[in-house]
Structure 1
Amino acid sequence: MKRFEDKVVIVTGAGSGIGAGTALRFGAEGASVVLAGRTREKLEKTAAGIPHGKSLARVTDVAKLTEVEGLVHDALAAFGRLDVMVNCAGVAPDGRITEASVADWREVMAIDLDGVFHGCRAAMPELLKTCGCIVNVSSVSGLGGDWGLSFYNAAKGAVTNFTRALAMDYGRDGVRVNAVCPSLTRTGLTEDMFADEALLARFHERIPLGRTAEPDDIAAVIAFLASDDARFVTGVNLPVDGGLSASNGQPPQ
């Protein structure tokens, strides 16, 4: 399946986890993929899985608008157009408000929220030319609260509603804007959780499909939302959570 042949896609956070899985999925479906992240070695490892000549790796700090604008410029210089912007870079400091630091707050807002804003703002002029689309990576943590993750909840909650507002503002111009909201997914950010078998068992008990997510699970839904198969879908914050959000919180019988 080559839904993205002749399309150009930018993926931030592409060095690992969901971002890497997403970049590889678009590459497998024929896209030219621009990979952005903070570590060149990780980006180049991901790029190695994309057909020769169809990837470009750029070290980028999404917290800085000028760097994201430069990323879009480089994408245009290399491939001539932009069709899809995937804003995936993120961090998740934990701790209650009296325990996590002010620096933690600034970091999560700079990357998880400002990074999405920067990506959308820099990409939009080019997406208007191609009637392209944006897929933001929010979280189930942007739809409800977590224990000990209030900073992350605040940032992802903002991404969720920002996605809705952009979809309204740009729909009549031909640009779709959606978000995915993953539940617990195996990434570098969650490796400590995946090492805790007792904790994982508690997650599995609550998720109707009985397992946690892999990056490929999320990447497949991002690709769907970016494709013509979702041509009448915009303003959606789609839970990719194995049915977790279907529950009212009661334990299984």
Structure 2
Amino acid sequence: MNTDPNRFDGRVALVTGAARGIGARIAATLAQRGATVAQADLLDDWAEAELTGGAHTRHRVDVRSAASCTALVAEVLDSHGRLDLLVNNAGIVRRGPAATMSEEDFTAVLDVNLTGTFRMCQAAYPALRQTRGAVVNIGSTNGHIAVLNTLGYCVSKAGVMHMARVLALEWAPDRIRVNAVGPTIVPTDMTSDVRGDEAYLADKMASIPLGRMAQPQDVANAVAYLLSDAAAMTTGQTIFVDGGVTIH
């Protein structure tokens, strides 16, 4: 019998936004540690290689739809018989000054990042209650500090991190743990535009005491810890994977 608290053998993990970037790295890390991973995304083109070492599955989900989230959980249960771990990683960003940002752009970000996380948590709750599971929401340093020209994104990420606290309180009697991870800038497709702006990038790097961006693996390692039995007494918390940004 495996007694390593960092392993996930026999457990099923569902990761949204798993087609590329941070989500793909989280899925791969959980698979490497023994989990059977259900990878879900709205994208049809998966940029990452298939996971190896288990009966992993790929699914389509639109977190803007409660029906789609409910159907996704049903598919996972049909494919794997259980759900132990949920990672709410699906997200988008729209940049621009608050004074001129369209209502459509603002609400689109909240609908995916914040309400989409709520929809997935609500859809997964009955299955997680059965397994005494664990949830990790992907937040951001932008949800803790004010960042120019990203109002919707900042508000949505503050929301998903606080949602982890509220759900941790509500679901503690069911022995479901809920936490969040808040990365600083990560070199993914979502940040390619700002990483191409030399002035922006110089200012961003100056705000990170450790002097580098967070890599997808840095984020995945924190997510895996919070989902694991090594964090069995940790709930309602946010781990900032930010090189010290939020200690200022």
Identity across matched positions, percent: 37
Please state whether the residue corresponding to 2:45 is helix, strand or coil.
Answer: helix
Q: Where does residue 210 of structure 1 map in the other structure?
A: 211
Please state whether the residue corresponding to 1:229 is helix, strand or coil.
Answer: helix
CA RMSD, aligned part only? 1.4
Please state whether the residue corresponding to 2:74 is helix, strand or coil.
Answer: helix
Where does 1:91-106 land on structure 2 (aligned, <5 Å)? 91-106=92-107
| Distance in 2 (alpha carbons) for counterparts of 1:47 and 1:170 | 35
| Distance in 2 (alpha carbons) for counterparts of 1:103 and 1:228 | 41
1:27/1:46 Cα in 2 relative to 1: closer, same or farther (>3 Å)? farther
Contact map agreement 1:47 1:56 (CA 8 A) in 2 = no
Q: CA deviation at 1:46?
A: 3.3
TM-score if structure 1 supplies the norm length? 0.92
Q: In the alignment, is residue 5 of structure 1 matched against residue 9 of structure 2?
A: yes
| Distance in 1 (alpha carbons) for counterparts of 2:224 and 2:55 | 17
The count of corresponding residues between Structure 1 and Structure 2 is 244
Contact map agreement 2:14 2:85 (CA 8 A) in 1 = yes
Please state whether the residue corresponding to 1:46 is helix, strand or coil.
Answer: coil
| Distance in 1 (alpha carbons) for counterparts of 2:48 and 2:77 | 20
| Distance in 1 (alpha carbons) for counterparts of 2:208 and 2:167 | 31
Q: Where does residue 88 of structure 1 map in the other structure?
A: 89
Question: Which consecutive residues of structure 1, in runs of 5 or more, have no partner in the other structure?
Answer: 248-253
Q: CA deviation at 1:53?
A: 4.5
Contact map agreement 1:24 1:46 (CA 8 A) in 2 = no
Contact map agreement 1:18 1:187 (CA 8 A) in 2 = yes
The letter of the residue matching 1:184 is I
Q: In the alignment, is residue 22 of structure 1 matched against residue 26 of structure 2?
A: yes
Contact map agreement 1:35 1:47 (CA 8 A) in 2 = no
**Could you tell me which of 24, 39, 60 is aligned with 2:43?**
39
| Distance in 1 (alpha carbons) for counterparts of 2:238 and 2:18 | 21
Please state whether the residue corresponding to 2:99 is helix, strand or coil.
Answer: coil
TM-score if structure 2 supplies the norm length? 0.94
Contact map agreement 1:139 1:180 (CA 8 A) in 2 = yes
Please state whether the residue corresponding to 1:78 is helix, strand or coil.
Answer: helix
Contact map agreement 1:142 1:153 (CA 8 A) in 2 = yes
| Distance in 1 (alpha carbons) for counterparts of 2:150 and 2:48 | 29
Q: Where does residue 227 of structure 2 map in the other structure?
A: 226
Q: CA deviation at 1:85?
A: 0.5
Q: Where does residue 55 of structure 2 map in the other structure?
A: 54
Q: CA deviation at 1:47?
A: 5.4
